[in-house]
Chains A and B, each alone.
Chain A
């Protein structure tokens, strides 16, 4: 069974730029959720994708957007980067339609905005 993978591992961007982070879900899972984890904090829910559509969103501005592909992999795009966007971005996959709500996380992408 393949786990959740994310790329890249680390990224350095300049304020105002745009960034795309990628996630491959665990085999058998059909749902991907993205979280932002600032230093010393717990992860904060950004949004969730199911059947290639956003089906839930946290308190993040529209410059945070995403995609889910037919193979259930996903992208997180952030436009007009701000210094406060520096964080660990975690992707989690799960299966919607079963009896459990376990979300399995990838290793994360550490984004630094200078």
Chain B
């Protein structure tokens, strides 16, 4: 069965610090997708990134960057120069294509608190 572990329950940083959110996954499939979502206090999950299992290239988008390492089954997320608006719960998720449909398996989330 697939599983996503986010070991960090809560992280507190001061504005402008860099912060890395860890994600470790388990799957028996060779084809799968990894995601990060942001959940602000309003509750809506905001899609940040999707990565497929065949693409291990790291990605950078503004202050966000992602490090995907199949060898360690990790898909870590780094925010550079954090801002107060980055405060939210961040979820890592795994998707497998099974029997014609895909579903997301989420970790328990990491709450990020950025103080001024």
Identify the A interface with B (CB < 8 A).
31, 33, 35, 40-45, 48, 50, 55-56, 58, 88, 90, 92, 94, 96, 100-108, 110
- Whether B101 lies near A96 (C-beta < 8 A) is yes
Which of B11-19, B37-45, B58-66, B71-79 touches A?
A: B37-45
- Whether B42 lies near A107 (C-beta < 8 A) is yes
- Whether B103 lies near A88 (C-beta < 8 A) is no
Q: Can you name the residue of chain B whose Cβ is closest to the Cβ of A58?
A: B103
- Note all chain A residues with C-beta closer than 8 A to B47: 102-105
Q: Mark B90-115, 1 if CB is under 8 A from A, else 0.
A: 01010101111111111111000000
- Whether A48 lies near B103 (C-beta < 8 A) is yes
- Whether A105 lies near B101 (C-beta < 8 A) is no
Given contacts A33-B103, A55-B100, contact A100 B43 (CB under 8 A): no
- Whether A42 lies near B102 (C-beta < 8 A) is no
- Whether B99 lies near A56 (C-beta < 8 A) is yes
CB of B70 within 8 Å of the partner chain: no
- Whether A45 lies near B101 (C-beta < 8 A) is no
- Note all chain A residues with C-beta closer than 8 A to B44: 105-108
- Note all chain B residues with C-beta closer than 8 A to A90: 43, 45
| A58 CA / B101 CA spacing, docked (Å) | 12
Q: List 16 A-B contacts (CB under 8 A).
A: A31-B101, A33-B103, A33-B104, A42-B4, A42-B109, A43-B91, A48-B103, A50-B101, A56-B98, A56-B103, A94-B102, A102-B35, A102-B50, A107-B43, A107-B44, A108-B43
Q: Can you name the residue of chain A whose Cβ is closest to the Cβ of B92?
A: A42
- Whether A42 lies near B91 (C-beta < 8 A) is yes
Chain A nearest CB from B103 CB (Å) reads: 5
- Note all chain B residues with C-beta closer than 8 A to A110: 43
From 11 to 59 in chain B, residues with beta carbon under 8 angstroms from any chain A beta carbon are: 33, 35, 37, 42-47, 50
